């Protein structure tokens, strides 16, 4: 892994959480984005070069909605810059880590992403990400 890219936090209400985190961090979010395929709306804060991503479900069958229903709001994942992501996926799979998909998918913030199943990482969901090349 190259560096911690962002920390994902599941929230029930993105607008209220944006206000809370702006008050906490002393700065506003710099972007709101919806990832329709994942049923999530996100916002990002930059804190010393590491991003905080707030995630709100946009439909009840999304992974974020299910996470909040089961565990409540809070830390959802740690994301690491892992370029090239497909190579990193293959490397980690060969080391016994279970991936949640066979291929990277489009994520927020112009990223291609993949996840490692938390049962193979001490119950912490790990996201691998790389910048999309357009």
pLDDT tens digits for range 106-134: 999 999 999 999 999 999 999 999 998 86
Residues 6+ apart with CB under 8 A from 21: 29, 45, 52, 54
If 0-12 CB within 10 Å is exposed, 13-18 middle and 19+ buried, where does residue 23 land? exposed
Helix (H, G, I), strand (E, B) or coil at 73: coil
C-alpha closest to that of 61 among 38, 43, 41: 38
pLDDT at 134: 66
pLDDT tens digits for range 27-77: 999 999 999 999 999 999 999 999 999 999 999 999 999 999 999 999 999
pTM equals: 0.92
Residue owning tokens 């293959």: 90
């Amino acid at each position: 892994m190259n560096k911690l890219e962002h920390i994902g936090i599941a929230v029930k209400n993105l607008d209220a959480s944006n206000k809370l985190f702006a008050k906490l961090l002393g700065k506003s979010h710099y972007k709101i984005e919806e990832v329709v395929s994942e049923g999530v709306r996100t916002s990002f804060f930059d804190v010393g070069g590491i991003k905080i991503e707030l995630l709100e479900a946009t439909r009840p069958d999304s992974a974020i909605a299910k996470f909040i229903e089961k565990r409540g709001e809070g830390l959802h994942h740690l994301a690491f810059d892992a370029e090239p992501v497909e190579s990193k996926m293959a490397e980690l799979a060969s080391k016994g880590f279970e991936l949640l998909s066979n291929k990277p998918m489009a994520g927020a913030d112009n990223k291609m992403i993949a996840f490692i199943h938390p049962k193979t990482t001490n119950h912490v969901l790990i996201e691998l990400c790389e910048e999309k090349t357009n």
